[in-house]
A and B are shown apart, each in its own frame.
Chain A
């Protein structure tokens, strides 16, 4: 059992028979009163958002989720295919289930695929992913108008702000949790 006091971002729990992941937990405690946990959660099956307020003393069933190391294979329409690196079993996730993670999916990328009752329902990306810059405007030294960052396009189609010295063809590391540029990668 999970106590309300143990709820944190990313805690996975069961609400009315469905698995949810905690997106935000706000601790609210008036004076000498009882503690409340204002929670924002996402349904891992449907992706829909749920807001609930719990109080200290409330308990929850942890979500029986399983994670398997898998490799990204390819996308076909709005279906994304992954392969178990040990058994070579393949599973499919819909575009909806993949969500924002699709911005980071490149061939052979290894990640954790989340299963609930033997059904693949989502992805836990590695914290850092390396992606190639496929389009970048050249940087003109001394161009103060350009500021300290510029937008570039990555191999997945993702557009993000990077320091002006990043050029086309460079491999960069991106933090998948924040979607921010981290560093250039020497290959």
Chain B
């Protein structure tokens, strides 16, 4: 359970995140938390609620807003993921998502740098960031490392080799991530198989325009240049669903309205950032429980 100081830091952070996006002309939106069909992702499990589901991310509804003509939107909301509980995971947590039309993932990297700088300026007693006794240099521009370089450098194997032997996630979790260091780093260009909702890279269709942001050694955000081709997206969903079924999971109802919305969705980029982890960083907390009012065990 968090102390008074930790919840104050969390509250300040939420306040300044909102200020940042509003000052940049983003519309603060709220979309339903309970939805009929979650995005099918092989390794993310939605919590059922009556005959519907609690959302694992506000992604599909926010993209439907983009297809209706909104250009810059953000949302801060609670999301739910079954079975995720650990020092950096809670089954219910706070997600910040923002989307921009006519943008790609490079623009989102700049947004991340600006957002953190804004929060640090607004919370001067938190700057410089010190996490677990070590100072974090958060001054832009942040390091960018491709997934393919990172696999070779830290695991001595190619990402393709790891994928073929079904070791991609394992190598990522136990060899790549622990080697990334504490300063902010963008890990970018994932194999297309590891990016179900991302646009292929024009110059190399085996790669997808996806990045993850790490700060303090923690995964903070996941971003895409969005895939807006409904046919390709439907195929990718099918593959994810097949993987879910193979793992003995129940398939989700198909999300036709979302796929139809892609037909009118302009080229866009979107990102999900874990607010709890950002609060951990600002509060110097090693465990997500330290910046949460209550954890499931305490209820």
Contacts and interface: CB of A to CB of B under 8 A. Distances in A.
Interface stretch (B105-113, B164-172, B199-207): B164-172
Interface string A38-64: 000000000000000101110000000
A32 B41 contact: yes
B144 interface: no
A26 to B, nearest CB: 6
B95 to A, nearest CB: 14
Given A30-B177, A56-B83, A35 B170 contact: no
Contacts of B177: 30
Interface residues of A, number: 16
Contacts of A27: 84-89
Given A27-B85, A31-B219, A57 B248 contact: yes
Contacts of A30: 169, 172-173, 177, 219
Contacts of A35: 43, 83-84
Residue among B41, B44, B173, B248 with the most chain A CB within 10 A?
B173
A140 interface: no
Contacts of A26: 86-87
B194 interface: yes
B219 A36 contact: no
A35 to B, nearest CB: 7
B174 A56 contact: no
Contacts of B222: 31-32
A29 interface: yes
A28 interface: yes
A31 B89 contact: no
Residue among A26, A32, A57 with the most chain B CB within 10 A?
A32
Interface in A1-34: 5, 26-34
Contacts of A56: 43, 83, 247
B212 interface: yes
A31 B174 contact: no
B160 to A, nearest CB: 16
B83 A5 contact: yes
Contact of A33 (B83, B85, B173, B248): B173
Contacts of B172: 30-31, 33
B233 to A, nearest CB: 15
Nearest to A57: B247
Given A28-B174, A53-B174, A57-B247, A34 B43 contact: yes
A36 B88 CA distance: 13
B40 to A, nearest CB: 12
Interface of B: 41-44, 83-89, 168-170, 172-174, 177, 194, 196, 212, 219, 222, 247-248
Q: Which 8 A-B pairs have the closest CB atoms?
A: A27-B86, A33-B169, A30-B172, A30-B173, A5-B83, A34-B169, A28-B173, A34-B43
27 contacts: A26-B87, A27-B85, A27-B86, A27-B87, A27-B89, A28-B86, A28-B173, A28-B174, A29-B84, A29-B86, A30-B169, A30-B172, A30-B219, A31-B212, A31-B219, A31-B222, A33-B43, A33-B168, A33-B169, A33-B173, A34-B170, A35-B84, A36-B170, A36-B174, A53-B174, A55-B170, A56-B83
Interface of A: 5, 26-36, 53, 55-57
